A and B are shown apart, each in its own frame.
Chain A
């Protein structure tokens, strides 16, 4: 490190010395950091940017060589095509978006309703072989979905759950409950059990104590957990493509993927559908960002 002679021999106490050097080094590093982060951001965001650009280009400009970055005519036709069917009425894509909303929303709600009380119970009560149970619950997440998709397919065929929204809701719930339990147990552990003890002495039952006193303190954690569960269900592709086939049941990921593969690919439509697909997650995460941060740092904020 380059330290001038003056600086090195200056009689200032070490405490004064160090911060100034750190500041200097910090500034140098932060310029480098900013540069690297910019490069990284450009590389990572370019596909997103390209997707957005493609979604508002006319088809002519989509295929233009050399590619047009800025001087193209903006059109919202692709977005219209996402929602409106060719013969008027609703498009197949818009139905799949609705399916996605229903499937992701319901499965997240179910996972939360089942997982939060379970997490509370695991945190508060002495359960036999608690560690083993928790490990077992977690272990269901070790398997990648593709491994279980065949047995699930066979089981679902027996039960008539193939090509059925309920089937997807159930499987997503099954995947999100373990996650919810694990994540929420951490949050419940952070809330002192004595609030519930005090509430029970006040005259509430144990469930009332949980409902009135602990649950409100868990809301940031629940929001954070639900967002993650929602994103999982919203993005899930493997089960969706194996277990559903008709347009009226399909969720958005396989529906969008289905746009690619004909003789001509309408890239504008694909891009517009992808933008619409990405938007809700972004918006939702943005809306609960305060809770997300509070949720992630709950342990540091309390006490």
Chain B
């Protein structure tokens, strides 16, 4: 149905550089997630694709054709707005029908399409209500229905699940992936929730301060973060970062610990590095060759697991442990590191070291 490609998007609002050279390539039929914290420029990116934002520089190509100067209507896209933007005076039915009315579909076509969408999104009983008479989650589903009722080139979705409660959000996540699979079509999906990004995406673009940090599959972004910031943003609990440097065949921590140097790194001796360790690649089980000495700082029982905070010198490690793990703060323990899964970043630039050997 449609490819979306943006190149070198730049947009500033007064002093704020909202987009600072954003380039993205969304393949046809993919579920493409733009992930970033609040204020990263996600909404601005979507609005630029939709033609709602006058750009300072850059181009938007739809289906390989330059659409930078096209009107929003001519771009043939559908969008779910972060604020829903449901028409306040119209019923849910009329809201959902609006894209079809604008394109002069017959009323029997409209009725059929609205009915199909409302059963898909379980909003049949809302159809005669106005937005003011709906809950946030209900409005969100009506907004989704309004976008999905047509077969546009691509669907743009701006945090469509953010305002739902956790249970509904998890349900809708599966639902949306299912809809994507059954309807097909290109989805550009914006979120600040990394779980959503990792669980739904074919490809993820990580955005920060108007710059694309990394583009890749969810696994690539998680397993091979391009830089320290992506590593810290993606994954929960957040990755732990320890200052260190390479010395011969060992890594020497700023806090005095040493670990065997991972085989795959080519960092020269003495260069300041950051060792990134994810909670699931650490364990508190035994003392060994590849372990760090520390002190138990605190416990976060999460039901299915317990996150153990271990203080190593002045730095903090988050370690995933069995849900039955117990201990008292101040207790000395050792954290075993799976060095094959560790990450190394240049402490100066924050960029990941090349992992050619891995």
Task: Name the prevailing secondary structure of the B interface residues.
Answer: mixed
Binary per-residue interface labels of chain B (59-93) against chain A in the complex, 1 for a CB within 8 Å, 0 otherwise: 00000000000011100011101010111110000
Task: Kindly state whether residue B21 has any CB partner on chain A within 8 Å.
Answer: no
A260 CB, nearest partner CB in chain B, Å: 51
Task: Verify B72–A201 contact, CB threshold 8 A.
Answer: yes
Residues 166-206 of B at the A interface (beta carbon under 8 Å) = none
Task: Verify B83–A192 contact, CB threshold 8 A.
Answer: yes
Task: Kindly state whether residue A198 has any CB partner on chain B within 8 Å.
Answer: yes
A262 CB, nearest partner CB in chain B, Å: 56
Count class of interface residues, chain B: 20 to 34
Partner of B73, one of A126, A201, A213, A216: A201
Binary per-residue interface labels of chain B (322-346) against chain A in the complex, 1 for a CB within 8 Å, 0 otherwise: 0000000000000000000000000
Q: Give A residues with C-beta under 8 Å from B.
A: 126, 192, 194-195, 197-206, 208, 213, 216-217
In the complex, what residues of B have CB within 8 A of residue A126's CB? 54
Task: Verify A203–B88 contact, CB threshold 8 A.
Answer: no
Q: A198-B85, A198-B87 are in contact. List 10 more A-B contacts (CB 8 A).
A: A126-B54, A195-B85, A197-B47, A197-B81, A201-B73, A202-B101, A202-B146, A206-B71, A217-B88, A217-B89
In the complex, what residues of B have CB within 8 A of residue A200's CB? 51-52, 71-73
Task: Kindly state whether residue B15 has any CB partner on chain A within 8 Å.
Answer: no
Q: Cα distance A122–B238 when bound, in Å?
A: 46
Task: Kindly state whether residue B103 has any CB partner on chain A within 8 Å.
Answer: yes
B145 CB, nearest partner CB in chain A, Å: 13
Task: Verify A204–B73 contact, CB threshold 8 A.
Answer: yes
Q: Cα distance A123–B119 when bound, in Å?
A: 39
In the complex, what residues of B have CB within 8 A of residue A216's CB? 89
With contacts A201-B50, A201-B78, A205-B71 taken as known, whether A194 is within 8 angstroms of B89 at the C-beta atoms is no
B162 CB, nearest partner CB in chain A, Å: 16
In the complex, what residues of B have CB within 8 A of residue A197's CB? 47, 50, 52, 72, 79, 81, 85
Partner of B102, one of A195, A204, A206: A204
Task: Verify A203–B99 contact, CB threshold 8 A.
Answer: yes
Task: Verify B73–A195 contact, CB threshold 8 A.
Answer: no
With contacts A194-B81, A194-B83 taken as known, whether A202 is within 8 angstroms of B98 at the C-beta atoms is yes
With contacts A197-B72, A198-B79 taken as known, whether A203 is within 8 angstroms of B103 at the C-beta atoms is yes
Partner of B81, one of A198, A208, A213: A198
In the complex, what residues of A have CB within 8 A of residue B88's CB? 195, 217
In the complex, what residues of A have CB within 8 A of residue B81's CB? 194, 197-198
19 examples of A-B residue contacts, CB within 8 angstroms: A126-B54, A192-B83, A192-B85, A194-B83, A197-B52, A197-B79, A197-B81, A198-B79, A198-B86, A199-B102, A200-B51, A200-B71, A201-B50, A201-B78, A202-B98, A202-B102, A203-B102, A203-B103, A205-B73
In the complex, what residues of B have CB within 8 A of residue A195's CB? 85, 87-88
In the complex, what residues of B have CB within 8 A of residue A206's CB? 71
In the complex, what residues of A have CB within 8 A of residue B78's CB? 201
Q: Cα distance A195–B71 when bound, in Å?
A: 16
Q: Cα distance A203–B73 when bound, in Å?
A: 4
A130 CB, nearest partner CB in chain B, Å: 13
Residues 36-55 of B at the A interface (beta carbon under 8 Å) = 47, 50-52, 54
**Quick one: closest B residue to A204, CB to CB?**
B102
Q: Which of B47, B73, B81 has the most CB of A within 10 A?
A: B73
In the complex, what residues of B have CB within 8 A of residue A202's CB? 73, 98-99, 101-102, 146
Q: Cα distance A205–B71 when bound, in Å?
A: 8
In the complex, what residues of A have CB within 8 A of residue B86's CB? 198
Binary per-residue interface labels of chain B (287-322) against chain A in the complex, 1 for a CB within 8 Å, 0 otherwise: 000000000000000000000000000000000000
In the complex, what residues of A have CB within 8 A of residue B102's CB? 199, 202-204, 208
A204 CB, nearest partner CB in chain B, Å: 5
Q: Cα distance A207–B86 when bound, in Å?
A: 18
**Quick one: closest A residue to B75, CB to CB?**
A201
B42 CB, nearest partner CB in chain A, Å: 15
In the complex, what residues of A have CB within 8 A of residue B47's CB? 197
B192 CB, nearest partner CB in chain A, Å: 19
In the complex, what residues of B have CB within 8 A of residue A213's CB? 87
B149 CB, nearest partner CB in chain A, Å: 10
A215 CB, nearest partner CB in chain B, Å: 11
In the complex, what residues of A have CB within 8 A of residue B101's CB? 202
